[in-house]
Amino acid sequence: MDNILLIAVLLPLAAGFVTLFFPRRLELPAKVVALVVSVISLGLAIRIFRLGGLVYERPLFEIADVTFNLSLMSGPLGAFILMFACGMGLLITIYSLGKTRPSADAVGTETVRIPGIYFGSICLVLGGAAGILLADNLLLLLVCWEIVTAALYLLITTGHRQANFAATKSFAMIGASDAALLLGIMLLWSICSSLSIGEISKAPVATDSGVSIIAFVLLLAAATTKAGALPFHTWLPTAGQAAPASVMAFLPAAIDKLLGIYLLVLVARYLFSIESGALSIVLAGIGSATIIIAVMMAMVQHNFKKLLSYHAVSQVGYMVLGIATGTAVGIAGAVFHMLNNAIYKSCLFLCAGSVEEATGTGELDKLGGLGSKMCITFGACLVAALSISGVPPFNGFASKWMVYQGVISMKDTMQAGSDLWPLWLTAAVFGSALTLASFVKVIHSVFLGRLPDGLGGAREARAWRLVPCVVLALVCVFFGVAYRVPLGFFIYPGLGMTGSDAPQFLGVWESQAASVLLLTGVVLGLILLVAGLAATKAREVPTWTCGEIQPNEQMRVPGTDFYKTISSMGGLRGLYKSAGKGLFDFYDQGSRIGLAFTEFLRWLHCGVLPVYLSWVTVGLVMILYVVCKIW
């Protein structure tokens, strides 16, 4: 029975590797393989979650006194995350079954270039994610981590002509963090003399020495880069504008968040014991800064998917902040928010993809009035927007409420930085308010207002695109109203919080009663609205000014102007300009430094013999001074 762990990893990896080489004409077989593999993977994940406690171990090779084993273990945390990751894979595969048409925008193409690469990469992601979540060996986790990174690169390249740059940037930044992951694992092995996650978790490493702190920071950098937190987040907005919406919904919005936060929980809760107060402050600072800075960037975006990408970054801040609290309710809220974010963020990206396919554009100032044309997509997008904004009774509110309580409960702990809890709480609550304000712009720009003249032929998305959006929207409602169900079945058991260890809530939130009251208020409001419209006979006339009929486009007010003044405010104008120039982008700054160094080497390599002799002489003098110590 334990072989099921090996099958869950190897089956999608083998199928994905073979599918990568399918020629373009084998589009239907590629779709069939991806659909079958995603269904089987979900079935295996559910089976693994229900059985629990499975272990598979097989020695591979031995170098000196170190034995490398293929060690798999179905822990409660990894097993439940794997189940939801495979569920996302199935929904994205269903969403991608139909053909798509190219977008008119240079930044919005949704066309899959080679079906084999697209659907094969989906299978690779499922296998790699299974390997990460089931691995009991840190080197095996690293190998599977790299497989997911390679699959991300391939999936981003299936976008428009600028996708190659986005894919290269994403691969470079995540690849650099993978190097940090490798170095962190090696330092951890030097401390513990073990690569087994189970063995290390029995006696977590105390962060009371320089080596242990460096190892923790390196693993933290790998986890936060994967999840998309500051300051290594800039790959995500770049990919969001170039990659297909289905790719963004699958990896950066869902799988990368699940894997990144899984590793962060693993590092902060099981592999290390955070005894350095400075590390707790740094973690909370990263979370708070990620919330505010990313949502401020999202508010001024005009591209639908790029705006959603910044919000995907912002939501990671709540997860990092919840883990930084070190409290049971905060950590549980962070993991719950990780799950909720994967649900509503994937729904938002899929809705954006449907809108982009129906209209041929993803620019908000070119959209509007689609609520009457795409009713189901509008409904799903509205539910997901309210969820991410933390509006009750949806799932985003439930997990944010737990994170808030975790921050407040920091005042009762003795850890360093606990006195800063009002600052962390202010950032979290203010971030939710800004998120709601941002999505007011999105809903108005896309679905409300006047319909542009060129979008009269827009139609509702096809069935295979609507099903994933509707399913995810319904889960948003269910996980919000009945939030005790995911907490009791997945979150608390996954974190080992049972019985008296389960978090005690500081406040009261009766979601069922509140949902009934909110629904009653909405129904009464609709009744009054309909009654008022029926009692008043309004006549419709064309829009006119001073007796002249005005064209539709001239009277249309794009929602992108809602927060235009923010980017021109005195204190923020310079920051927005600097961000637009890439001054806060590690990739851009690293590229400039690399090019400058290259130019310096070109200047040195001038082809003039006396110059070469001069450098040789300088080098010999330095060697004599350092090595031979002649002075």
Residue range 453-462: average pLDDT?
Answer: 84
Taking the C-alpha atoms of residue 588 and residue 231, their distance in angstroms, rounded to an integer, is: 13
* 266-311: pLDDT as tens digits: 998 888 887 667 778 888 899 999 999 888 888 888 889 989 999 9
The pair of structure tokens assigned to 126 is: 């499922």
Q: What is the pLDDT of residue 67?
A: 66
Taking the C-alpha atoms of residue 308 and residue 560, their distance in angstroms, rounded to an integer, is: 14
Helices (H), 300-374: 304-324, 328-359
SS3 track for 482-520:
CCHHHHHHHHHHHCCCCHHHCCCCCCCCCHHHHHHHHHH
Q: What is the pLDDT of residue 384?
A: 94
pLDDT of 46 > 90? The answer is yes
Taking the C-alpha atoms of residue 356 and residue 206, their distance in angstroms, rounded to an integer, is: 50
Taking the C-alpha atoms of residue 96 and residue 113, their distance in angstroms, rounded to an integer, is: 13
* 368-390: pLDDT as tens digits: 888 888 999 999 999 999 999 98
Residue range 310-333: average pLDDT?
Answer: 90
pLDDT of 550 > 70? The answer is yes
Taking the C-alpha atoms of residue 38 and residue 90, their distance in angstroms, rounded to an integer, is: 5
The β-bridge partners of 56 are 72
Alpha carbon 50 to chain centroid, angstroms: 27
The pair of structure tokens assigned to 136 is: 């009991």
Does 12 sit behind a cis peptide bond, omega within 30 degrees of 0 on the bond before it?
A: no
* 84-98: pLDDT as tens digits: 999 999 999 999 887
pLDDT of 191 > 50? The answer is yes
pLDDT of 560 > 90? The answer is no
pLDDT of 474 > 50? The answer is yes
- E strand or H helix at 154, and its extent? helix 138-156
The pair of structure tokens assigned to 337 is: 């928010």
Report which of residues 402 and 511 the model is more confident about: 402
Range picked from 103-112, 397-406, 582-591 for highest mean pLDDT: 397-406
pLDDT of 415 > 70? The answer is no
Instruction: State what percent of residues in the chain have pLDDT above 90.
Output: 32
Taking the C-alpha atoms of residue 93 and residue 111, their distance in angstroms, rounded to an integer, is: 15
What is the model's pTM? 0.89
Q: Where are the domains of the chain?
A: 277-498, 587-628
* 101-159: pLDDT as tens digits: 444 444 444 444 578 899 999 999 999 999 999 999 899 999 999 999 999 999 988 87
pLDDT of 583 > 80? The answer is no
Confidence of residue 34 (pLDDT cuts 50, 70, 90): very high
Taking the C-alpha atoms of residue 546 and residue 195, their distance in angstroms, rounded to an integer, is: 78
Report which of residues 537 and 599 the model is more confident about: 599
Helices (H), 204-303: 210-227, 235-242, 245-250, 256-265, 277-299
Q: SS3 of 46, please? A: helix
Q: Are 264 and 320 in contact (CB under 8 A)?
A: yes
The mean pLDDT value of the chain amounts to: 84
pLDDT of 581 > 80? The answer is no
Q: What is the pLDDT of residue 110?
A: 45
Q: SS3 of 273, please? A: strand
Burial class of residue 214, CB neighbours in 10 A (0-12, 13-18, 19+): middle
Close Cβ partners of 116 (under 8 Å, ≥ 6 residues apart): 19, 20, 21, 22, 23, 24, 26, 30
